[in-house]
Amino acid sequence: MKPNAVIFDLDGTLLDTLSDIAEASNRSLTEFGFPIHPLKDYRTLVGDGVFILFRRALPAAVADDSVVVDQCVVAFHRHYDQLWSATSRPYDGIPELLEELVDRGLRLGVLSNKPHEFTVECVRHFFPQIPFGAVFGHRADVPRKPDTTGVEEILRKLDSTAESCLYLGDTNTDMQTARNAKCTAVGVSWGFRSVEELIANGAEHLIDAPEQLLRLL
């Protein structure tokens, strides 16, 4: 069936946000006296929401302490509110791809494990000209990816079906989400994780540049 919709992950897929996330996270860890991490570590720390980020980033002795994790999450929100657009930017070719998809009449959505308010703000700021039909980050009442609830909600808003939808992402969580929802799983090699991880988690297609997505339409 010919695709009529595309759902995108945000961080590592549409936007290179790693430095700003790392800086906000390290400021939060420093605030409570915990060791910080180099930028490269955040490639594997991110991807499953802020709570899980700190479960991974905190020392093992406190990583399961929900009070400590929650304190770091609150601090992260405060720091990231000041940093979210400091160095973040769309990946090369992404704005042009989105404009071409709009011109071709495809329906577009964004689903991220980033907090919802930051997801919406990033999309509005970096892609003001793109008429996304649905943009969702992590919301307290909706399970995080790889749960399919968010995908199903977006498909309803886009008036599309899983069989007609491509799902793009850069992590194992994204590929699992796509496969769980029965969307076509497209892994992007320019993001935070490896091609090997994408393949191992069910990527049906791999693309090395945004314009290569057009081959799948």
- Strand stretches in 95-194, DSSP E: 107-115, 134-138, 165-169, 184-188
Mean pLDDT of 182-206: 98
Nearest to 32 by CA among 74, 80, 4, 94: 74
- Residue 176: both structure tokens together: 């699992």
What would the CATH number be for the domain defined by 5-16+89-216? 3.40.50.1000
Q: Where are the alpha helices (DSSP H) in 149-193?
A: 149-158, 172-181
- Residue 34's SS3 state is coil
CB 101 within 8 A of CB 108: yes
Q: Which residue has the tokens 């988690």?
A: 201
Report H helices in 4-93.
18-31, 42-45, 50-57, 66-83
Tell me 93's DSSP state: T
Name the token pair of 70. 């929650």
| pLDDT tens string 67-123 | 999 999 999 999 999 999 999 999 999 999 999 999 999 999 999 999 999 999 999
Q: Residues 212, 166: contact at Cβ < 8 Å?
A: no
pLDDT of residue 1: 78
Question: How much of the chain exceeds pLDDT 90, in percent?
Answer: 100
How many other C-beta atoms are found inside a 10 Å radius of the C-beta of residue 105?
7
pLDDT tens for 4-49 read 999 999 999 999 999 999 999 999 999 999 999 999 999 999 999 9
The whole-number average pLDDT for the span 187-205 is 98
Q: Which of 5, 51, 2, 1 is nearest to 153 (CA)?
A: 5
Q: What is the pLDDT of residue 184?
A: 98
How high is the pLDDT of residue 162? 98
Mean pLDDT, the chain, rounded, equals 98
Angle made by CA atoms 53, 168, 85, in degrees to the nearest 5: 55
- Cα distance between residue 71 and residue 31, in whole Å: 10
State mean pLDDT over 154-161: 98
54 forms beta bridges with none
Q: CATH top-level class for 18-83?
A: mainly alpha
Domain residue ranges in the chain: 5-16+89-216, 18-83
Q: Is the pLDDT assigned to residue 201 strictly greater than 90?
A: yes
Average pLDDT over residues 144-160: 98
